Structure 1
């Protein structure tokens, strides 16, 4: 039963629509729980998403209103809604997608993450995703504020400032510290351990496989997925199926590790470096110096050969106009 708090017809209609939207969000969270169960994830993780779905389905206030009024902390304060699930709901509201659900379905939809912002078309959205490994508007705001966004080819100072202004105008806020910087909480040792275990299990053929939509009849399209827990931190590891990985013929080399639990969420890409000082080693993109320290500690580090460039598997230059629709950088 829906309780309508307003007597004004327009406001009442908006509240009814918001409650219906809550039901949609609840179904998406339930689907995440079901997919996690099918893929043999930790039962605690499965129950957490089912509980969150029940909370959202029974709310008398639209989730959208809570986010607009109290920010992401308002969502975190709801029963059974932790930081990670609050971030998923925020993404569903502000971007129209839940990246975790896309991943568990075997889909790659990076072109949609930021394409709703003025000046950020599908190409530039993909580029931000590939270079910074972020997929929510809150994370994009942080990247704009700390300057990392200017490291993405095609985004200069003016474009970064325009993106930041657009996000602020939309009411996008920076999440709590525990969510905004998962990299500071997860060591390279842990990420490389997950990568090693995942690839070992792939070779043994023991993992559940998911098929991207429209490719279920193609064995080559199957993506092995592994859900694991490391000292209370919940991770999902799978081979990358992005357009960039396909272009680089790296769909069986690039491993994407995602974290989603009550404390934080994050995303990391792990690849085999082909050139440079870490040639032949598995590296966490964006954490190269940490990887150098890791391999030095394990006496595996070697110096680069003369004339080699650093990580040529990463694009160093893009067409400035690619993806531009209105913001000039």
Structure 2
């Protein structure tokens, strides 16, 4: 089986899981069309990526921004974080450790001591001083981590015509998706999956919701990280994955346990915006 066929099979698996989880049918079909295009592509998709980068992948019929990133990840790393998440295999420690300059031990430290689960939260820690306080993180290493995260999270300027969606949605939109997810989960309206991490009995307990706000796709699920389990927050912390500026981004919504927003739902890392949002709405 060629690499194109293997990646096409992964895209078809994404489409099947999305369909089972009730995702928008146009999103499901997008992965089917992209898989069909890869099966008929006359050259290895790895060659296209090496020669033209992500823009070359986006020229393949049916391949848009998000799917191009999925293909790139499989070509470069042999796996897709999105597919692992849909399967219930997502591992925040492995994601943090994938950043050059962040080894597995540092990733564990970040996760356990600072509660960092996502690359977005790691980027915030790299700029607000928390990362500098960790032993072994010097200024040169810190600069390299910041540059890597800027590349991965799409912070570098890009032509507006290619990426019409803004990088981050509003606080109001994020909290509305969080509200819908928690309400539908409580009502039993969302299909459950059996995550492979921290689930020795194989129970299907994790609700995964797909929804849209305007042109933006969202995937919502409770945090299944070691930190969430240790603190008993597996049914409070909600991780949202969404389209933004040509890449898939993510954030975590939690219930504040102290400060002026205690008891309110807030977006981790965007606390100041949340304070302004609640001040304005009240």
| Residue aligning to 1:243 | 226
Q: Secondary structure at the match of 1:251?
A: coil
Q: How many residues matched?
A: 271
Partner residue in 1 for 2:269: 286
Aligned-partner SS, 2:72: helix
Q: Determine which of 269, 285, 288 is the counterpart of 2:252.
A: 269
* Residue of structure 1 in register with 2:86 after alignment: 104
> Quick check: 1:239–1:255 contact (8 Å CA) kept in 2?
yes
Match of 1:160 among 142, 145, 152: 142
Give 1:249 shift.
1.3
2:36 aligns with one of 54, 58, 71: 54
The whole-number CA distance in structure 1 between the counterparts of 2:55 and 2:100 is 26
- When residues 295 and 50 of structure 1 are mapped into structure 2, their CA distance, relative to the original with a 3 A threshold, is same
TM-score normalised by length of structure 2: 0.82
Q: 1:148 aligns to what?
A: 127
Residue 23, structure 1, aligned to residue 5, structure 2: yes
In the aligned structure 1, how far is the partner of 2:208 from the partner of 2:149? 33
1:131 to 116, 125, 128: 116
User: Which protein is bigger by CA-based radius of gyration?
Assistant: 1
Choose the corresponding residue for 2:185, options 202, 211, 226.
202
Report the equivalent of 1:310.
none
Distance in 2 of aligned mates of 1:56 and 1:176? 26
Match of 2:58 in 1: 76
Aligned 8 A contact 2:96 2:117 in 1: no
Task: Tell me the distance in 2 between the aligned counterparts of 1:263 and 1:117.
Answer: 20
After superposition, the Cα gap between the structure-2 partners of 1:255 and 1:167, relative to the gap in structure 1 and judged at 3 Å, is closer
Show CA shifts across 1:175-209 (max 9, x none). 84679997744111000000001111111111100
Secondary structure of the 2:85 match is helix
Which runs of 5 or more structure 2 residues have no equivalent in the other structure? none
| Aligned match of 2:27 | 45
Gaps of 5+ in 1: 1-18, 300-329
Q: For residues 289 and 117 of structure 1, do their structure 2 counterparts lie closer, same or farther at Cα, with a shift above 3 Å needed? A: closer
Stretch deviating more after TM superposition (287-296 or 152-161): 152-161
SS in 2 for 1:265: strand
Distance (whole Å) between structure 2 residues aligned to residue 266 and residue 107 of structure 1: 18
Structure 2 equivalent of residue 302 of structure 1: none
> TM-score, normalised on structure 1?
0.71
